[in-house]
Structures are given as structure tokens and as C-alpha cells.
């Protein structure tokens, strides 16, 4: 077995005070904060050379960290060692009679698999074995874990299923607008061509009818563009639908957040005879009338994003309905205009049983974009995006909205949380 030090976990009573101490006394900055709901902890990651310190604060009295603090006070909690194959490592340890806390690996933060060795075996130290997620190797944090799904949850009487149409990559600078690279590169390390990995995550809403929101970029992209965008569709929407127990025939309604190719490329397909046709044979398609106008009257700034092959065949086939701001798609599911990214860009709100979920599309392309000024350089009206985000974040925190991040490489959905003026995302899917 070959291991390398990945991080050191430290239990703290007050993360704000602890991170301030590490910053002021040792010059270590927080690169990223993550709520781990299942463990009831908030983890603050501080890069220190090749490894990280992980400061762990309990978010509830029943958290393992709260119990640790009660028993022993703040201090060293665990040492995490990365391995290439955690199952092989556990088998080797089991064969040697080593006492394990986890016989089988379980999902940890950032898509990793983790398992703990009992401290009685390791001279009183709790040892975490960690198999980092397979991902894009870049930056000193080494990987961006890629999460594929499908992932499902329920919202009142509705079932929500997040799917994947694969991954692609866009220029990191363009994805973060005026935010300096030194701030975003630790969260989403770029590759050697300055691109960051992004997902494409259509969402299925199942109630009396089955609604699909966006459909990824589809399979009509040529090889040259695929290389520019670092397209990885080894696993795509057809696989995801099958894994979710769905077929294209099951979809009743297909909704577009907006008509950019990475959202609606999967709306149509090229048949064997070269003609283009709607991909979901039974579905009614819905787009915003203003967005349709803009997509069919492109200018130099947005022309590369609006490809007629993705939406004109729908109009020709008579299956497309154009609607206005706030339109109800099915009961509980409606458009809400965010503007900003495009003039008529829509998020989709989903309400059932007193709970709310929001498909944020390109308003929050990733969970890294939740700070209000972290607005994409691609946005046509960035100040409008900022205004919408400010108001929306307040609502989402107070109303416990489950927010779906369409382009996040590592997570499908989470809750926005605010503690001590810091806004973070608690991953749910």
C-alpha cells in the first residue's frame, strides 16, 4: 500500500477565531469552506504546502465533533492519508487483522471515498483513508472531483432527478468575470489551458407529468468545438436517463432556461438522413418569447452561443410554445426571470409541500458562484445579475431553497447557508 499525507483534521470550538489565528500567526488562508450535512460539521480547508489543514467546527450538539470537544476539548482529530484504491487498502488491512471503523468505504467530502481505522490500532491516532475522486488534475489542490449522478430527492409530492450530459471546460477568467484568479483558482483549479471543469446537469421533475429542464449540449457538436470546450461525454444524457429508469418517451414537457447551446443542444437530434428533429418525441417544448427573439436575432457578442440547429427544428415541427415571464409550466413549476446572463434568462422554481427548489441555470452556474459579485464575464448584463443574486440569496437562505447548480462539476444541489457573514453551500446531492 502506498499512502501520502492528504490533510490533518483539527477539532475547533470557534472556527472564526481559529481561522483568524492561523491567518495572523502562521499566514495560512482559508481556501474553501464546506458544510458536511451528514457529519454536522463545517470544514475550513487551509492549504499548507502540498497538504491541507482541515478545521472542523460542529454545527449541532449531536455532531461527532461536538462529542469530541466535550470529551477532550479542541485539538488534533484525525490524520488523512490518500490511497489510490481504498477497497484494496481495506482488504489488505482486514487480512492483517487490523481493527477498522469502516469495513467498506463511504462517501466523503468532495466526491472522495473514505474509511477510518480505529485509533486503538494507530497509537491513539484516528486515521482516515481517502481515495480522492477521479477528476481533472490541476493546481496544488490536485483534483476537481467530478460528480456524475444521477441523484434524486423528493420535494413535497414531486420527485427531482438530477442527470448529467457530461462535462466540458471553459476559460476560468471568463467564468468568474472581474474576480481575480488568485481567489477562484483554489476552488476550481484550471488546467494547463486555463480552463475549469464544468458539468451539464439537466433536471427531471416528476409529478403528474414528467418535466425536463434543459438537456445539456447534446451530440451535434463537431470535433473542433468539442476540443475547444474540452467536451467529455463518455457518459451523457442517454446514459443518465437509462440509469434513472427513464426513456425519451417518458418526457412530457421540455423547458429551456435560455437557448444557449450548452443548455438546449440536447433538445434536437440529427437523424440518419441528416435532418434535424425533436429529441423527445412526445414532448411539448417551452421557451421564453423574449429569449427566442434574441436567439433568432443574434449579434456579434452572443452569436457563438445561439445555434439554430438546437431550437429552429422545434418551431418547424410545431412542438414549441413561447411563454412570458413567470409562466407556469405545470402546477408548482414556473419560470422566474433573472435576466443578467441574457436579457430574458429564466431560473425555474419548483414548489411542493411548502418547500421550494430552484434550478438556477446560468444565474449560479456553480456553487462557487454564490457570492453576489462572482458573476460570469459571459453575462450580457452583469449588473442585473448582481441585483437578482442579492435579492435571491436572501430568499434562498431564509426559505431553505434547494438550489440546483447546472454547471457545477462536483455537486448537483445544495442549500445556501450563512454563518457569521460567510455564505457557504451545504451539499445535498
Site residues, Zn ion (CB under 5 A): 260, 262, 362
Give the full edge-to-edge strand order of the sheet including 284-288.
Answer: 151-155, 158-162, 203-206, 210-213, 253-255, 284-288, 320-323
Nearer to Zn ion, 6 or 362 (CB): 362
Which of 173, 170, 175 is closest to 197 using CA atoms?
A: 170
DSSP string, 259-275: --HHHHGGGEEE-TTS-
Nearer to Zn ion, 57 or 262 (CB): 262
**Helix ranges (DSSP H) in 75-179:** 86-95, 172-176
Nearer to Zn ion, 233 or 260 (CB): 260
Question: Smallest distance from the beta carbon of 163 to Zn ion, in angstroms?
Answer: 15
- Partnered with residue 422 across adjacent β-strands are 419
Nearer to Zn ion, 376 or 396 (CB): 376
Please tell me what DSSP assigns to residue 188: S
Question: Smallest distance from the beta carbon of 345 to Zn ion, in angstroms?
Answer: 7
Nearer to Zn ion, 6 or 379 (CB): 379
Q: Are 326 and 337 in contact (CB under 8 A)?
A: yes
Question: Smallest distance from the beta carbon of 230 to Zn ion, in angstroms?
Answer: 14
Question: Smallest distance from the beta carbon of 257 to Zn ion, in angstroms?
Answer: 8
Which of 19, 16, 15, 23 is closest to 41 using CA atoms?
A: 15
Apex 29 CA angle, 24 and 32, nearest 5? 145
Nearer to Zn ion, 294 or 362 (CB): 362
Backbone φ, ψ for residue 284 (5° rounding): -95, 135
Nearer to Zn ion, 66 or 200 (CB): 200
**Cα dist from 375 to 340, 364, 368, whole Å:** 9, 8, 10
Which of 205, 137, 174 is closest to 374 using CA atoms?
A: 174
Nearer to Zn ion, 131 or 342 (CB): 342
DSSP string, 4-26: EEEEEEEE-S-HHHHHHHHHHHH
Question: Smallest distance from the beta carbon of 233 to Zn ion, in angstroms?
Answer: 15
Q: Are 357 and 404 in contact (CB under 8 A)?
A: yes
411-414: long-range contacts, CB 8 A cutoff, minimum separation 24? 411/147, 411/367, 412/147, 412/149, 412/151, 412/162, 412/201, 413/151, 413/153, 413/160, 413/162, 413/357, 414/367
Nearer to Zn ion, 6 or 262 (CB): 262
Q: Cβ-closest residue to Zn ion?
A: 260
Question: Smallest distance from the beta carbon of 263 to Zn ion, in angstroms?
Answer: 6
The whole-angstrom separation of Cα 259 and Cα 321 is 14
Sequence-distant (6+) residues with CB within 8 A of 1 are 83, 88, 89, 92
Question: Smallest distance from the beta carbon of 110 to Zn ion, in angstroms?
Answer: 23
Omega prior to 322 cis, within 30 of 0? no
Question: Smallest distance from the beta carbon of 36 to Zn ion, in angstroms?
Answer: 28
Nearer to Zn ion, 54 or 262 (CB): 262
Which of 351, 347, 350 is closest to 335 using CA atoms?
A: 347
Nearer to Zn ion, 47 or 365 (CB): 365
Question: Smallest distance from the beta carbon of 237 to Zn ion, in angstroms?
Answer: 15
Question: Smallest distance from the beta carbon of 361 to Zn ion, in angstroms?
Answer: 7
Question: Smallest distance from the beta carbon of 134 to Zn ion, in angstroms?
Answer: 24
Amino acid at each position: 500500500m502506498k499512502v501520502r499525507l492528504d490533510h490533518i483534521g483539527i477539532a475547533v470550538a470557534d472556527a472564526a477565531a481559529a481561522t483568524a489565528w492561523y491567518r495572523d500567526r502562521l499566514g495560512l488562508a482559508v481556501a474553501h469552506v464546506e458544510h458536511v450535512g451528514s457529519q454536522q460539521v463545517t470544514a475550513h480547508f487551509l492549504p499548507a504546502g502540498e497538504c491541507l489543514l482541515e478545521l472542523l467546527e460542529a454545527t449541532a450538539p449531536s455532531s461527532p465533533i461536538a462529542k469530541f470537544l466535550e470529551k477532550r476539548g479542541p485539538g488534533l482529530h484525525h490524520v488523512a492519508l490518500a490511497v489510490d484504491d481504498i477497497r484494496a487498502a481495506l482488504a489488505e488491512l482486514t487480512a492483517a487483522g487490523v481493527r477498522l471503523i469502516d469495513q467498506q468505504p463511504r462517501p466523503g467530502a468532495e466526491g472522495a471515498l473514505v474509511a477510518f481505522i480505529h485509533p486503538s490500532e494507530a497509537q491513539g491516532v484516528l486515521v482516515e483513508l481517502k481515495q480522492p475522486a477521479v477528476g481533472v488534475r490541476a493546481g496544488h489542490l490536485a483534483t476537481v472531483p467530478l460528480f456524475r449522478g444521477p441523484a434524486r430527492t423528493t420535494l413535497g409530492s414531486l420527485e427531482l432527478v438530477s442527470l448529467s450530459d457530461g462535462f466540458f471546460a471553459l476559460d476560468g477568467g471568463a467564468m468568474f468575470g472581474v474576480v481575480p484568479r488568485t481567489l477562484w483558482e483554489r476552488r476550481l483549479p484550471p488546467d494547463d489551458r486555463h480552463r475549469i471543469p464544468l458539468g451539464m446537469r439537466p433536471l427531471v421533475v416528476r409529478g403528474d407529468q414528467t418535466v425536463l429542464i434543459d438537456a445539456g449540449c447534446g451530440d451535434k457538436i463537431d470535433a473542433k468545438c468539442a476540443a475547444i470546450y474540452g467536451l467529455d461525454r463518455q457518459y451523457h444524457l442517454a446514459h443518465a436517463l437509462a440509469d434513472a429508469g427513464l426513456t425519451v418517451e417518458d418526457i412530457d414537457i421540455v423547458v429551456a432556461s435560455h437557448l444557449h447551446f450548452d443548455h438546449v443542444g440536447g433538445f434536437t437530434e440529427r437523424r440518419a438522413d441528416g435532418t434535424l428533429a425533436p429529441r423527445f418525441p412526445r414532448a411539448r417544448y417551452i421557451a421564453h418569447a423574449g429569449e427566442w427573439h434574441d436567439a433568432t436575432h443574434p449579434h456579434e457578442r452572443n452569436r457563438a452561443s445561439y445555434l439554430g440547429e438546437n431550437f429552429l427544428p422545434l418551431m418547424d415541427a410545431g412542438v414549441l410554445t413561447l411563454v412570458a415571464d413567470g409562466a407556469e409550466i405545470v402546477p408548482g413549476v414556473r419560470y422566474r426571470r433573472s435576466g443578467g446572463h441574457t436579457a430574458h434568462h429564466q431560473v425555474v422554481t419548483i414548489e411542493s409541500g411548502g418547500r421550494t427548489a430552484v434550478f438556477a441555470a446560468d444565474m449560479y452556474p456553480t456553487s462557487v458562484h454564490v457570492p453576489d459579485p462572482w458573476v460570469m464575464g459571459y453575462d450580457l448584463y452583469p449588473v442585473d445579475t448582481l441585483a437578482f443574486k442579492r435579492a435571491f440569496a436572501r430568499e434562498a437562505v431564509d426559505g431553505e431553497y434547494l438550489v440546483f447548480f447546472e454547471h457545477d462539476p462536483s455537486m448537483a444541489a445544495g442549500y445556501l447557508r450563512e454563518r457569521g457573514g460567510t455564505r457557504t453551500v451545504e451539499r445535498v446531492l
